[in-house]
Structure 1
């Protein structure tokens, strides 16, 4: 947490300095033009500096500020020419005309930039709202389990992606899915919506986890037949899990997805590989029956599911991130702390240059009668619950 806050502080400080410099730059250009023109012979002119001031202001300042800077530049040139008794001459008049033309152009540029920023902001809000509607964050307590989920986009301010997760409390127990759609953008979001909708329905109705996987397969096949999904690349790697109520076991069906990890209370790590490998969902290359594998899930154990944005993250030397090795021997208070540590660690591993989205889902079976823990963290006078 402390390292993340320091990084954010450094980024915020750097951004503040850059903004402050940009805000000062037009005034510095006008001031520099005045000084240059007063201290140099008449054959030298600072008109380029006065012309640059409104152009620099146009993409960064408000409309009123851009107009004021343009007027200030024209007033400065007028005062200089009056001071040198050269205003009635042709060259100073041409300079003023040029400056007036550039100031009008700066106002036009400012209007275009503001309109583009408004459209971009609107598109981001729509994308974020759509993604949250398709991929809502699950509650932190479901079926007696402690749950945490996280979606980390590869690019800042990016909300549309092809990774998915969902948790459902059903009569058969808590059922989970984490998947990765082939492709990016709106087509990937369409596949995510189909998969999540099919999972929510199937998780409630199907008696077995294998049946849930087959329902997802049929849903993708129907969507592909209607032309809604790419017939060749419209597949999804996914891992489905089921934790029955009152039973310290977890059942998993893996369809070509990175293997889940069990984190034991003593720091031991167990990779849950499938007994029989299977193809991703929607890859119509034959029909094979799904097979669920079972593992013990004692109290205090954490089940971690993730997409390949985590396991295929590489550092500058091309070395892949290995979540099992990085987590071995580490103990976390809860699933939220685990996901925070993971996202921090993978960004440290890659130097912040991630190239793929990352979905994480962590589930903890608490000990009987274990109370909810709330910790108070104090960092340089900052207190959060």
Structure 2
């Protein structure tokens, strides 16, 4: 059964024929024979909200015909009848012109959005759904309406050292953030193939961001601020997961229905801060990774999502309620839980990367 929303959705489609009937009735039965002209004149303009241009033009012709018929019925002839019809048709033509302009702008906008999304996805391509022993799922919800990506980033690839993954968050928004995303992802894809440790890999990313930031300083696409990053390495066997956290929200390990937050033992600074690490060399931490375990990587769009009362979303509890499931189902359920918690408000870019080990 349809609810109230279904009825409201039909209102725009019902409005034009109701305006025709109302205008005809007003012209024929009101004290003055032209009271229905405003209703008839705006019929095609209202039709343009939910009908095609051709259908709107048919409504314009119908409005003119109804005007002529109602005038004839009430005895308005000659100049009075002609003036009524011309008035309705002129306003209808204006409505059709507005409809044409809106449709043209809509087509231009659709092309622009398609090109922008293609360009953004070239910067941040979707990872494979399966790699080695892992099943992979990714989800991205940009805070900026109409954008495919923002300042969050992730990447995944198979290397001589095992499967390596990156998830991060660029400080800032807009085009400068997307520029930093392209630098970080590009540096990761090149350096992940050649650096033996995650510590070395983080150093390569750090230097790449610093170099690009210096090169673009003072330009319109200046890269400002730091980048939080979480680097992950899983051997070909899939038996362990090694994590290096550079100021990013920690990952969550799901094992036998238990959710564990892998908080770093020694918190580290984000990339490209220009500061020395407070703990010397950043520490890589290794954890068991059993068959059917899932590692969930998120950005602060998940961990800092707030409800109407200003309370943060509890990721560990939210994942615990989802329970064991496939990687794609887990990613979808987490995004849905965050969306429900925030009431659908886009507070920040949101990225989720799920890595589930097979048998």
Query: How far apart, in 2, do the equivalents of 1:44 and 1:119 lie?
Result: 40
TM-score (norm 2): 0.90
Query: How far apart, in 2, do the equivalents of 1:52 and 1:338 lie?
Result: 50
In the alignment, which residue of structure 2 is the partner of 1:275?
265
Tell me how large the CA RMSD over aligned residues is. 2.5
Q: Out of 29, 40, 51, which is 1:39 matched to? A: 29
In the alignment, which residue of structure 2 is the partner of 1:79?
69
Tell me by how many angstroms 1:239 deviates: 0.6
Query: How far apart, in 2, do the equivalents of 1:180 and 1:109 lie?
Result: 43
Is the aligned partner of 1:60 residue 2:50? yes
Q: How many residues align?
A: 354
Q: Unaligned regions of 5+ residues in structure 1, if any?
A: 1-8, 371-385
Is the aligned partner of 1:244 residue 2:244? no
Greater shift, 65-74 or 205-214, is seen at 65-74
Tell me by how many angstroms 1:168 deviates: 1.1
Query: How far apart, in 2, do the equivalents of 1:186 and 1:59 lie?
Result: 33
* SS class of match (1:328): helix
Tell me by how many angstroms 1:338 deviates: 1.5
Greater shift, 297-306 or 173-182, is seen at 297-306
Query: How far apart, in 2, do the equivalents of 1:205 and 1:312 lie?
Result: 34
* SS class of match (2:77): coil
Query: How far apart, in 1, do the equivalents of 2:345 and 2:72 lie?
Result: 56
Query: How far apart, in 2, do the equivalents of 1:217 and 1:93 lie?
Result: 77
Query: How far apart, in 2, do the equivalents of 1:327 and 1:101 lie?
Result: 61
Q: Out of 360, 363, 381, which is 2:352 matched to? A: 360
Q: What are the equivalent positions in structure 2 for 1:117-266 lying under 5 Å apart?
A: 117-154=106-143, 158-227=147-216, 230-233=222-225, 235-246=226-237, 248-265=239-256
Tell me by how many angstroms 1:19 deviates: 4.9
Query: How far apart, in 1, do the equivalents of 2:265 and 2:273 lie?
Result: 20
Is the aligned partner of 1:347 residue 2:339? yes
> Cα distance 1:61–1:43, how it changes in 2: closer, same or farther (>3 A)?
closer
Asked if structure 1 preserves the Cα contact closer than 8 Å seen for 2:180 and 2:223, the reply is: no
Asked if structure 2 preserves the Cα contact closer than 8 Å seen for 1:174 and 1:244, the reply is: yes
* SS class of match (1:95): helix
